[in-house]
Amino acid sequence: MSNLKITNLTKRFSEVLAVDNLNLEVADGEFVTLLGPSGCGKTTILRTIAGFCNPDRGEIFFGDKIMNNIPPNKRNTAMCFQSYALFPHMSVWDNISFGLKMQKISRQGQKKKISQVMEMLGLEGLEKRKPGQLSGGQQQRVALARAIVTEPKILLFDEPLSNLDAKLRVQVRIEIRDMQKRLGITTIYVTHDQDEALAISDRIVVMERGHIEQLGDPYNIYRNPETSFVAGFIGLANIYEGTVVARDGSRYTVEAPFGKVVIVSDGRKIPEASKTVKFVWRPEDMKIYIQGAPNRVKGKILQAVFMGNITDIFIDVQGNKMRAQIDESRKLIAGDVIEFSIPEDAFSILRG
């Protein structure tokens, strides 16, 4: 059973088409991330689910109930805002109890629930503080507590971690994931941070200019990108075009500008012979060539950046630039000639 269903959602802001005929189904207890660059419509979708934004066309269903005409305060969603949006004049306790008061829950019941949530998020002892007296991480946790304490049908996150520093961001995202798993609340999470999306989601919706580019679990989104936008937006990518010159079962030989490569298709996209195809592989797929390895490419190092665990290398293969990230103990310097191989199954063939 799907907990949230969006059908044919369209929203236009004067000249800009923010959401273009979008369909999405989210299962009960699922964690779905809307990922895309700013202006791709992800926040608009979130605000439409919460009820702050009226769609021009399309429906929002919670379960099998249509929600379009239900005002935000009756939807029983809980949103975590980028700015946290804590009530600055209320104590931490009053902030968290706000939603429960609205649900007319008894004082005793409120107390029990709030204590539970505060303990879960490590907020004990801060009950009487005002938001202005808390650190960024604590404010973020109070916002989270305020949202989950109401036991919402759907939990909505609008870039909740973007105001935290890098270390805290990783820590809080693990907490969010843990908590969501434990409570089993259906969650929609908006972010433009690909690492965050990969780490936290059951499924990722990659969006661009109001439509879905690709929908899938983090592994598939990263390993099998379908378009060059997805390949380029998530992770690093070497993208090339070539002509299919030979085919042997699921193995294709493609004539690329830097030489012939053999690709093993994953079976989803079958390129036709003598057609032009676009394909991608990740920098970390490139290995130092050893005897007998497939897809040998020889190039000159333009730049080698030592990053500790890996070395980030830009190479020039007969005038074609590509990027490799290898785990190599030898020190590499610009001007060295180096030979790589690319595993046949490292490639993904792109739609466009």
Partner 1 sequence: MALTDSTAETSLYLIQARKKRNFYLLLMIFFMIVLILWVGIPILMAVMWSLVDPKNPWSYPNLFPPSFSLAQWKYVFDYTNIGRALRNSYSIAPLAVLLSFVLSLPTSYVLGRKKIPGKKFFMLVVLLPIIMPGMVVALFLSRVFTAFGLSQTFFGLVLAHTLMSMPYMIRVMTTSFQAIPQDVIDAAENLGANTFVKIRDIFLPMIRPGLLAGMIFAFTVSIEEFNLTFIIGTPTFETIPTILFSFMGYNFIRTNASVVALLMMTPNIIMLFIVERFLKSDYLAASLGKM
Q: Contact residues for partner 1 (CB under 8 A)? A: 50, 52, 71-79, 81-89, 98-99, 102-103, 130-132, 136, 139, 146, 150, 163
Cβ closest to partner 1, residue 82 vs residue 115: 82
**Residue of 220, 143, 224, 153 lying closest to 185 (CA atoms):** 153
- Give me 352's structure tokens: 């466009």
Cβ closest to partner 1, residue 70 vs residue 310: 70
339 SS3 class:
strand
Cβ closest to partner 1, residue 123 vs residue 315: 123
87 SS3 class:
coil
- Specify whether the CB–CB gap between 293 and 342 falls below 8 A: no
DSSP assignment of 247-295, as one string? EETTEEEEEETTEEEEEE--SSS-PPTT-EEEEEE-GGG-EE--TT-SS
- Specify whether the CB–CB gap between 7 and 61 falls below 8 A: yes
Cβ closest to partner 1, residue 99 vs residue 216: 99
Cβ closest to partner 1, residue 138 vs residue 348: 138
- Give me 272's structure tokens: 């036709």
What's the min distance (Å) between Cβ of 130 and partner 1? 6
Cβ closest to partner 1, residue 8 vs residue 83: 83
What's the min distance (Å) between Cβ of 98 and partner 1? 5
What's the min distance (Å) between Cβ of 111 and partner 1? 18
What's the min distance (Å) between Cβ of 229 and partner 1? 30
What's the min distance (Å) between Cβ of 171 and partner 1? 18
DSSP state, residue 22: E
User: How far apart, in whole angstroms, are the C-alpha atoms of residue 82 and residue 42?
Assistant: 13
In this structure, the chain runs to a length of 352
User: How far apart, in whole angstroms, are the C-alpha atoms of residue 2 and residue 295?
Assistant: 44
- Give me 93's structure tokens: 């306790």
- Give me 203's structure tokens: 């499924």
What's the min distance (Å) between Cβ of 79 and partner 1? 5
What's the min distance (Å) between Cβ of 9 and partner 1? 19
Q: Which amino acid is at 96?
A: I
Cβ closest to partner 1, residue 21 vs residue 76: 76
